[in-house]
């Protein structure tokens, strides 16, 4: 929810649970409750558009989910003396550039030979790894897993550290 930072979303849900006496958040129940709360700060977010527009936005999200995670496989052959090294790399079939998301975004076919596309994918990879670390570092370290290599990879992808390989 772009309109509400994480702390505010947490507060809204906590207040909803306290107001309803529930101890578990069910999205459908929250929406039903919110429908009768036009003064609530989150009301406009969910009910501030016509149903036709909301249905279109929902369908657009479904289309994004449909494209999400699709992969392409690129095979590069690198001749070395009398042997041929075959390198197989897997990439997403489509990428949603962050710079275009505020304008409605969209997915673009990923071209592995395009430096800008590679740079955008590396940036998104670094963000994803940082997000993973923020969420799962504690449980990994709790069982003795050293996550420093993941931190290093994120820094390399951001371009803030040289790749030792």
Residues in a beta bridge with 90:
73
> The pTM is what?
0.52
Q: Distance between CA 120 and CA 91 in Å, rounded?
A: 12
pLDDT at site 163: 67
Angle between helices 148-158 and 115-142 (to 10 degrees): 160
Note the pLDDT of residue 80: 64
> Which residue intervals of the chain are DSSP H helices?
6-20, 27-35, 43-47, 51-67, 115-142, 148-158
CB 108 within 8 A of CB 97: yes
DSSP letters, 6-32, are: HHHHHHHHHHHHHHHT-SS--HHHHHH
Mean pLDDT by 10 residues, the chain (165 residues): 77 91 89 93 90 88 77 67 75 83 77 90 92 93 93 89 64
CB atoms within 10 A of CB 66: 10
């Amino acid at each position: 929810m772009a309109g509400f930072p994480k702390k505010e979303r947490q507060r809204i849900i906590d207040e909803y649970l306290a107001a309803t006496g529930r101890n578990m958040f069910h999205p459908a129940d929250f929406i039903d409750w919110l429908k009768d709360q036009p003064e609530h700060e989150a009301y406009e977010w969910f009910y501030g558009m016509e149903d036709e527009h909301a249905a279109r936005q929902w369908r657009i999200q479904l289309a994004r989910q449909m494209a999400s995670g699709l992969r392409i496989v690129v095979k590069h052959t690198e001749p070395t003396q009398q042997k041929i090294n075959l390198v197989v790399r897997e990439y997403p079939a489509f990428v949603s550039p962050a710079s275009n998301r505020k304008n409605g975004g969209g997915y673009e076919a990923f071209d592995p030979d395009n430096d800008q596309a590679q740079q955008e994918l590396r940036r998104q990879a670094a963000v994803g790894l940082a997000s993973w670390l923020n969420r799962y570092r504690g449980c990994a370290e709790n069982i003795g897993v050293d996550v420093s290599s993941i931190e290093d990879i994120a820094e390399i992808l951001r371009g803030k550290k040289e790749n030792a390989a």
